[in-house]
Structure 1
Amino acid sequence: MIRTRQGKVTAIKASRPGITEIMVEIPGEGIQKAYNYDLLTGSVEEGHTVILNTTAVAKKLGTGGAHFVMANVSAPTRDAREAGHIMKLRYSPCQVKVLAAEEQDSPHSAAIKNTESLAGTPVVVGALHSMLAPAAAGIKAATAGRARVVYVMTDGAALPLMLSNLAHNLRESGLIDAMITCGHAFGGDWETVNIYTALLTAKAVARADVIVVAMGPGIVGTASRFGFTGVEQGEIINAVNILGGRPVAIPRISFADPRERHRGISHHTVTALGKIALTTCTVVLPELPDADQTGLLREQIARAWPEDKHRVVAADGGPALEELERRGIEVTSMGRGPADDPAFFLAAGAAGIYAAGLALPGE
């Protein structure tokens, strides 16, 4: 069940488009941090009384590290007559109306309806939100910034795009040119109903040279073979092939994760590419200085799926990490940065660099 509390806003700590970080005094529990999604609950000001969802923090799950505003008692009722008929978070107390790019009232409806193919557009498919930055940086580094990069955020993890500091920083730095949210995810430059129309919107409306697809922050995992939201990587690869794109998969690689199931090639990658993906893709391995690590990756892949199922290539992901550093973008995954777990970030960067070569040959 949802744990709710009422509190009074004591301070506005920070804000960026779509989200406001606030401090709220909760009777008997002190002053605590919360997030307000402006699209859902309107603007918030100091002194407002708000209703909070405190479930995750009370369970010490650390989701977002804060509470979330469910309703602003002090704010006036919002007008819901704006254009759009598609509901996201459907049949929940937080359902939100959006104008989907493909619906009839959208100015982009005809363009999407008349586009049935990605026409060979490369699509980098990641399994974690933290893969987004090095992948995008690799694309930009390999093309001297010329390639137009469009990020498609799925609903495999966090649903509000505005929660992601990383996505905001990547746009501000110019590493991402446009963003699309699909399924129940919301907050992108364009809203779409599913991964297929998201990919077509990226091609026909956002004019992507390279598309990067990954969930938002907060992957769900259970340590079981199929019980993690990253299985969507295989499903997305299928979608890209159905639409005539060129899928490039980022393998989840780590030599710093203490869990054996994630050492070298993660069991997430083995399941998503070996079992869920029914069509082929290119798997990009990073060039690593440690020959033993490279050897282990090759051995694991040889056991993960039939040799002829996917094309396996290698690329240098180093320029992607250099590009991130040059633009002042700090990245982490599971609390580790490139210095702690270089193989993880080099893999994502290598995939971006390889995809850039498909989009703009000769760069």
Structure 2
Amino acid sequence: MIVWAEGTVTEVGERWPGAAEVIVETDDGRSFRSLAYLDLVPEPDRGDRALINIAAVERRLGTGGYALVIAVLDQDGRLTGQPEPPHGHLVKARYTPTQAMIRGVDEQGTEFHDQLAGADDLDGLPVITADLHSALPAIIAGIRAETADHDQLPKIAYLMTDDAALPLAFSKTVAQLRQAGWLDVTITSGQAYGGELEAVNVHTGLLAAKIAADADLVIVTQGPGNLGTGTRWGFSGTSVGEVINAASVLGGRPIGALRISTADPRPRHRSISHHSLTAYGRVALRPADLAVPDLSDVSALSGIRDLYVLPRFAPRVDEAVEPLGELHRLHRIELDGLDRALLDCPVRLSSMGRNLDADPAYFLANAAAGRLAARLSELSVAGVGIAKPATDKSATGRLG
């Protein structure tokens, strides 16, 4: 299950909140680009000894090409120091050697415990969910495109589930979005850790976004590292449907982004991915608002290479999404202006190795969900709120 290696830190590379890249030269002469999580180990320095997990790298799987630093020692094999001491009493990544002790947003003795103790209502808070972590910047781009002319941009919270990467620090995307001011607060739920707010599960994470973070919108995805086996049910994105259920049960406004691709070589992911069809069609038990990008007309878009293929896929997308209208409200979203919003994104857009030029449908579909969320929230019409959506099956929708 684990392949260990040990060696010497020969180079210290890029650093971002919670993580540092290093090069570790092993005793048998191999070199590994490695990642140290600074909540778990002291920051490595050149000349330190490091114990690393190289299993996924050797199998050419996951972890972004990184070996993972487990321990940092001096040349005599002694600890070089300690990370920051724990501030709370909740444990995540439980019963693993690197279990992390954190302060939960609602644990006893904390600022928000009393407010969250009996909390049970999101009061219509828009909750946008998507299959992949790479959807996050595109969704925010759509929100900003729709609210750019407002005096104040919405406060956006990001809730990362524990269905993929557990440390939030693995995501350079989140670090860069925070630095650019595109993201206001981070929350990690379940076994995931490293958010500014730590939650026990998605339900308490959503309530924390409302009560502790005072967010206007919440985006929920798994972290980097989607897991899939090529089977109907074997993928970590089934959690999208569970987020819909949680948001609805708590009186939020669940909004779904469709995973759409015109470039994925795998038939199960071309047009609307089977991940979206399964999560929204089988896992979700409550109605949501689904953003269906209007791929039929891209005449107003520019600056993106492969736009010309989108109109050919539009009928396939409409046909695939139609059955989801038996439960969900389908909204056709025009794409005008979303091209510029995506091009202005402060982070590199990439999903499954494809950038905006190579797979514009994917990023435009997620930006469309952001646009829909902004329209459905009271942010789009100053002073005019939205009614809580119906929670029975009569709340259905058809594409016009």
Alignment of 1:217-296 (within 5 A): 217-288=224-295, 289=297, 290-296=310-316
2:84 and 2:353 map into 1 onto residues whose CA distance is: 40
Q: Give the partner amino acid of 1:362.
A: V
Q: Give the partner amino acid of 1:329.
A: V
With normalisation by structure 2, the TM-score equals: 0.87
- How much does 1:47 deviate? 1.1
Contact 2:57/2:67 (8 A) holds in 1: yes
Q: Secondary structure at the match of 1:32?
A: strand
Report whether the alignment pairs 1:93 with 2:97: yes
Contact 2:349/2:355 (8 A) holds in 1: yes
Equivalent in 305, 314, 332 of residue 314 of structure 1:
332
- How much does 1:335 deviate? 1.1
1:312 and 1:171 map into 2 onto residues whose CA distance is: 31
- How much does 1:93 deviate? 0.6
The aligned counterpart of 1:301 is 321
1:125 and 1:327 map into 2 onto residues whose CA distance is: 19
1:184 and 1:76 map into 2 onto residues whose CA distance is: 27
Contact 2:38/2:83 (8 A) holds in 1: no
- How much does 1:81 deviate? 5.8
Q: Secondary structure at the match of 2:318?
A: helix
The aligned counterpart of 2:142 is 138
1:169 and 1:350 map into 2 onto residues whose CA distance is: 22
Q: 1:319 to 1:206 in 2, by over 3 A?
A: farther
Report whether the alignment pairs 1:68 with 2:68: yes
- How much does 1:358 deviate? 1.8
Contact 1:134/1:321 (8 A) holds in 2: no
Q: 1:197 to 1:317 in 2, by over 3 A?
A: farther
- How much does 1:30 deviate? 2.4
Deviating 4+ runs (over 4 angstroms): none
1:23 and 1:134 map into 2 onto residues whose CA distance is: 32
Identity %: 39
Q: Give the partner amino acid of 1:34.
A: S
Q: 1:94 to 1:293 in 2, by over 3 A?
A: same
The aligned counterpart of 2:185 is 178
Count of matched residue positions in the alignment of Structure 1 and Structure 2 = 361
Contact 1:84/1:105 (8 A) holds in 2: no
With normalisation by structure 1, the TM-score equals: 0.95
The aligned counterpart of 2:131 is 127
Runs (5+) with no aligned partner, structure 2: 298-309, 383-400
2:85 and 2:5 map into 1 onto residues whose CA distance is: 30
Note the alpha carbon deviations across 1:145-204, whole angstroms, 9 max, x for none: 611111001111111111111111111111111110111111111111100000000010
2:69 and 2:122 map into 1 onto residues whose CA distance is: 39
2:118 and 2:109 map into 1 onto residues whose CA distance is: 16
1:114 and 1:32 map into 2 onto residues whose CA distance is: 49
The aligned counterpart of 1:361 is 380
**Which sits farther off after the overlay, 100-109 or 216-225?**
100-109
Q: 1:327 to 1:255 in 2, by over 3 A?
A: closer
1:230 and 1:101 map into 2 onto residues whose CA distance is: 25
Report whether the alignment pairs 1:105 with 2:109: yes
- How much does 1:319 deviate? 3.1
1:320 and 1:37 map into 2 onto residues whose CA distance is: 35
Q: 1:16 to 1:299 in 2, by over 3 A?
A: same
The aligned counterpart of 2:8 is 8
Contact 1:21/1:34 (8 A) holds in 2: yes
The aligned counterpart of 1:163 is 170
Query: Cα RMSD over matched residues?
Result: 1.6
Q: 1:175 to 1:65 in 2, by over 3 A?
A: same
**Which sits farther off after the overlay, 326-335 or 187-196?**
326-335
Contact 1:317/1:348 (8 A) holds in 2: no
1:125 and 1:333 map into 2 onto residues whose CA distance is: 16
1:320 and 1:98 map into 2 onto residues whose CA distance is: 38
- How much does 1:299 deviate? 1.0
- How much does 1:362 deviate? 2.3
